[in-house]
Structures are given as structure tokens and as C-alpha cells.
Amino acid sequence: MKKESLSGLLTKNKLGEIPETDRQDQHYLEVVKAFARLTYESVYLIDYTNMSFEYVSENPLFLCGHSAEAVLQMGYDFYLRHVPEQDLELLALINEAGFDFYANLPEEEKKLYSITYDFHLADKDGKQLLINHKLTPLFLTRDGRMWKSMCIVSLSHHQAAGNARIYKQGSGEIWELPPGKRTWHKSAKPVLTEREIEVLRLHAQGFSIQQIAEKIFVAPDTVKYYRRRIFERLEVNNIMDALSHAVNSKLI
């Protein structure tokens, strides 16, 4: 599929001009900037009236070697320049399926939902990096369409692009988009026991298996058993991926 066609699909939610009476006070930008200073993740805002970026943080992960100001000026053209074509087609599919899902939600619940998925970014030298992209509504129009959204970019803990999921705040349910499909499937969010969460948190603090065993008064082999159970529940292969998955899914 040509990039011109992909660009059209990526801009499916493009809005017209927003009435002056609906426009928001700009103080929220100061809150977003403060949040960006406190996180290692990249933060940016999308404005769907013209498919532009309203704010881009200076975290280098999302910038592909550019300055934050340069990426801000590119807007949606940034994706066309720095996302490989195969992943652009994937983004177009996720974008279409995501906005179709969103359009059918009750208007009073729309701000409770967020979507997460993985795709590659290629820097100026063509080197590719798999990132995780989270998006949630910031402002809606009067008719319930997404006007502005807040996006967070971090390193992906998966091995391949895709992995699209929708979460609802305060709910244990998630919706997954199978590869190549446009229909979301509901499933339950993974559940960890209190002891498994405790083991994960101690790993996050940098403690070794032996040190964790001493802290929770069990044998090292028991800690290894908890780790295996965590890996199985989260469908990962190592402790770093488990930590990333647990944080992304708000399990710890």
C-alpha cells in the first residue's frame, strides 16, 4: 500500500475546525510538561483538528535523532518518515479498528479507555527500535469524537510489532486485536497473587533471588517458582519483560 493511502487511513479521525466556544484553556499544557519532566518515557499530544502534534517532550526515545521542536513541526508526517512501511500498514489497521471501537462507546465513558500497541521507529540512519505506544483521550468534541489525545512512548517488552490492547480504567477487562484482524476480542487482565506482586516489586528494587528469599523468609527455589508462575501468567520469558508488562498493565 502506498504511503499516500496509508496517510489517509492514519488520519481517519481528522476533525474540522473546533468552535471558539469549545476551545480549552491552555493551562493543561503546563501539567503535561510537568509530567514529562518526571518520567523517563516520551510524552506528546495529538490535535486531530489538523493531525498535528501540540506538544512533544525532549525524551530522545521518540525523536529518532531530531529535536523535539523538529518533531513537533512534522506532526503526522513524522510517522510517514520514521515508521517502516510494513508497520505503517499495521498502524493504519489499528487506527481504523481503534476508532471504530471508540465510536461505539457510551460518551460518558470514553475518557476511561486507553489503547496500547507496539511498532518500530527508524532513526535517521535507518536503525529500527521497537517501541510501545499508549494513547488516551484528553479532550472530546461536543459530539463525543476525540479532539486531543495524550501519548506515552516507551521501549516495548515484546519481540514483534502489534500487540494491540484496549484497557478501561477501573476494569479487569481488556480487548485484544488479533494479528491481521479488525475485530476486538474481550479477555481478562492477568491476575497476580499478593506474593507474586511482592516478588516482582523486590526485583524492581534490584534485589537478587537470594536477597528476596531472605526478605520473604522462603528458600531461593521458592522465589524461582514464583518467578516461573509470573512468567506464565504474563506470557513473558524473563524478569525484565515481566516488570515492563506488569507496569504497563498496572499490576504493580
End-to-end CA distance of the chain: 40
Q: What is the pTM of this model?
A: 0.79
CATH 3.30.450.20 fits 3-188, yes or no: yes
Answer for the pair 142, 196: CB distance below 8 angstroms, yes or no: no
94 vs 134: CA distance, rounded Å: 12
pLDDT of 13-33, one tens digit each? Answer: 666 666 655 555 668 999 999
Q: Report how far residue 248's alpha carbon sits from residue 154's, in angstroms, rounded to the nearest whole number.
A: 10
Please give the DSSP secondary-structure letter assigned to residue 25: P
pLDDT of the chain along its 252 residues, tens only?
556 555 665 666 666 666 655 555 668 999 999 999 998 899 999 999 989 999 999 999 999 999 999 999 999 999 999 999 999 999 999 999 999 999 999 989 999 999 999 999 999 889 999 999 999 999 998 888 999 999 999 988 888 999 999 998 888 788 999 988 889 998 877 889 999 999 999 998 999 999 999 999 999 999 999 999 999 988 888 888 888 778 777 777
Q: Are 68 and 37 in contact (CB under 8 A)?
A: no
What ranges do the domains of the chain cover? 3-188, 194-248
pLDDT for res 2: 57
CA distance 132 to 241: 13
pLDDT of residue 90: 93
pLDDT of res. 99: 92
Q: State how far the alpha carbon of 168 is from the alpha carbons of 125, 188, 194, 213, in Å.
A: 38, 11, 22, 35
Domain 194-248, CATH number (from 1.10.10.10, 3.20.20.140, 2.60.40.10, 3.40.50.300) = 1.10.10.10
Residue by residue, DSSP assigns 80-144 as HHHS-HHHHHHHHHHHHHHHHHHHTS-GGGGGGEEEEEEEEEE-TT--EEEEEEEEEEEEE-TTS
pLDDT over 70 for what percent of the chain? 89
- Give the pLDDT confidence score for residue 15 in this predicted structure: 67
Phi (first) and psi of residue 225, to 5 degrees: -65, -45
Predicted local confidence at residue 159, as pLDDT: 85
